[in-house]
C-alpha cells in the first residue's frame, strides 16, 4: 500500500468548504494525491539503492586492499633503494668506487 503525501479527504473537504462541488473536490484531491504519490520513492526503490551502495562499498573495499598491497610493494622498493644507496656510499667512502659523478659518466 502506497502512502500519500497529503490527506486527500481533508483536502477534498477544504475544497468543498471553498465552494467546489463534491465530485469535483474529490476528483481534484484524488488526482493531486496520485500525482504526489507517484513522485515518492517506494520501499523497493530504497532496497535497490541500498543494494547498489553495498556493491559500491564492496568495490571500494577491494580497491583499498589493492592500494594496501601497492603501498607494501613501494615500502619494499624504498627499503631496497635505501640499502643500495648506503652500499654505494660505503663503497665510495672506502675508495673502492669513484665518486658518483664518475659512475654516472659525468
pLDDT tens, residue by residue, 5-18? 678 889 889 989 99
Q: Enter the C-alpha cell of residue 17.
A: 468548504
pLDDT tens, residue by residue, 48-103: 999 999 999 999 999 999 999 999 999 999 999 999 999 988 888 888 776 666 66
Q: Using CA atoms of 28, 31, 36, 37 in order, give the dihedral in degrees to the nearest 10.
A: 130
Gap between the terminal Cα atoms of the chain: 82
- pTM, entire model: 0.43
Q: Where along the chain do its domains lie?
A: 1-40
3-state secondary structure of 63: helix
Amino acid at each position: 500500500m502506497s502512502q500519500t503525501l497529503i490527506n486527500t479527504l481533508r483536502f477534498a473537504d477544504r475544497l468543498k468548504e471553498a465552494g467546489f462541488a463534491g465530485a469535483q473536490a474529490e476528483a481534484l484531491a484524488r488526482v493531486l494525491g496520485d500525482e504526489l504519490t507517484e513522485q515518492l520513492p517506494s520501499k523497493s526503490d530504497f532496497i535497490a539503492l541500498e543494494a547498489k551502495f553495498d556493491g559500491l562499498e564492496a568495490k571500494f573495499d577491494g580497491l583499498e586492499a589493492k592500494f594496501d598491497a601497492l603501498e607494501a610493494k613501494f615500502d619494499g622498493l624504498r627499503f631496497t633503494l635505501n640499502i643500495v644507496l648506503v652500499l654505494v656510499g660505503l663503497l665510495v667512502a672506502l675508495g673502492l668506487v669513484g665518486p658518483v659523478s664518475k659512475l654516472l659518466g659525468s
